[in-house]
């Protein structure tokens, strides 16, 4: 356990899921936001749409809980996944990585996915889980293009997150690279949307094929 800018960081050798562990701990009132939980190995990680995030030791498995009262006033709940994810993307950029953020919260290197974010609301705390291939990756996925350990990256992320930039600041940067998402598709529940003609709206949602779609992850 270590403290970094007022956020307690609990590190485990192995957990089934950092997200499930932290959600349960918040509900049981054994941990309180702001707090971060990380694991050197995660055996049953939670991905988008209820999928399992499969990854090996040496990669990043963390979940961070922040009380909504600490977050910027202009951040809407439906914008939170992009907010948490883009702050991590900014950290990676500052460290020399070419990672980019595909709408709404997947980390990519070139055309291959490297990681992702899932966000849950527990009471008045937002719980953001991040999985990322730092040292190895499954077939058809990418791994990090810089050398950094999971604990080093976690400390860097917590440090930047605690600055709590406004949503306006984050969105203005995300908007500039949104065009990179347009060659991809995205799942919303069971529907697949092509992003070629999608319009990014100010809250991070998309206008796509006459529908407004949000990130529900």
206 in Cβ contact with 200 (< 8 Å)? yes
User: Does 116 map to a domain?
Assistant: yes
Residue 48 confidence class, pLDDT cut points 50, 70, 90: low
User: Does 56 map to a domain?
Assistant: yes
H helix runs in the chain, sequence order: 18-28, 80-94, 150-161, 167-177
The pLDDT value recorded for residue 210 is: 82
Task: Please tell me the total count of domains within the chain.
Answer: 1
Nearest to 203 by CA among 181, 174, 182: 174
User: Does 12 map to a domain?
Assistant: yes
- The domain that holds 117 is classified in CATH as 3.30.930.10
User: Does 205 map to a domain?
Assistant: no
User: Does 212 map to a domain?
Assistant: no
| DSSP designation for 138 | -
Could you tell me the residue range of the domain that residue 115 belongs to?
2-177
Total residues found in the chain within this entry: 217
User: Does 198 map to a domain?
Assistant: no
User: Does 213 map to a domain?
Assistant: no
Max alpha carbon distance in the chain (Å)? 49
pTM for the structure as a whole: 0.92
Mean pLDDT over each residue of the chain, to the nearest integer: 91
């Amino acid at each position: 356990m270590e403290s970094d800018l007022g956020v307690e960081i609990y590190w485990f050798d192995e957990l089934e899921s950092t997200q499930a562990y932290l959600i349960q701990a918040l509900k049981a009132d054994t941990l309180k936001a702001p707090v971060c939980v990380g694991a050197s190995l995660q055996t049953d990680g939670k991905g988008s749409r209820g999928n399992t995030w499969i990854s090996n030791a040496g990669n990043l498995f963390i979940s961070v809980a922040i009380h909504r009262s600490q977050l910027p006033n202009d951040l809407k709940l439906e914008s939170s996944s992009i907010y948490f994810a883009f702050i991590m993307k900014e950290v990676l950029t500052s460290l020399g990585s070419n990672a980019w953020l595909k709408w709404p919260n997947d980390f990519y290197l070139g055309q291959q996915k490297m990681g992702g974010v899932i966000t849950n609301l527990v009471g008045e705390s937002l719980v953001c889980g991040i999985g990322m291939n730092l040292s190895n990756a499954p077939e058809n996925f990418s791994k990090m293009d810089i050398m950094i350990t999971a604990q080093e990256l976690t400390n860097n992320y917590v440090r930047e997150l605690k600055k709590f930039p406004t949503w306006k600041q984050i969105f203005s940067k995300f908007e500039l690279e949104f065009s990179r998402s347009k060659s991809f598709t995205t799942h919303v529940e069971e529907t697949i949307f092509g992003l070629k003609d999608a319009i990014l709206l100010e809250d991070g949602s998309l206008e796509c094929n006459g529908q407004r779609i949000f990130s529900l992850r």
